Structure 1
Amino acid sequence: MFDLLAWADDDRLIGVGCAGTCGNEFRNALVPVSVDGRKVIRLSAYRENSDSEKSRHPVLTPR
């Protein structure tokens, strides 16, 4: 499952989720996802606890 955030290009979306399987909903990373949802690549390290004040949160801006 992914939280989709933005379009990356014609073929991919940017989301926060797991590339493969993960133990819980808080272990997620920034990932590009193909439009059909079949191809996922992890771009960042996994966040262990996204509710923590020290956790990083992606910020997307127009280019």
Structure 2
Amino acid sequence: MARLKVTQKRSEIGTKPQHRETLRSLGLKRVNDIVVKEDRPEIRGMVNAVRHLVTVEEVE
């Protein structure tokens, strides 16, 4: 199954509380943190909600 490499590129300072909670639930704590998650609809939805703060790559 494909996996997503999610990297936080922008700070959560000044963002909505929902966006901060989404970053935490993805496992991102600071700028340049990287997590690898399964490519599932739930994860895609969370990434889509904070797409202005993160970059995403597909990895095997």
The alignment's TM-score, normalised by the length of structure 2, stands at 0.21
Question: Which structure has the greater CA radius of gyration?
Answer: 1
TM-score (norm 1): 0.20
Choose between structure 1 and 2: higher helix proportion.
2
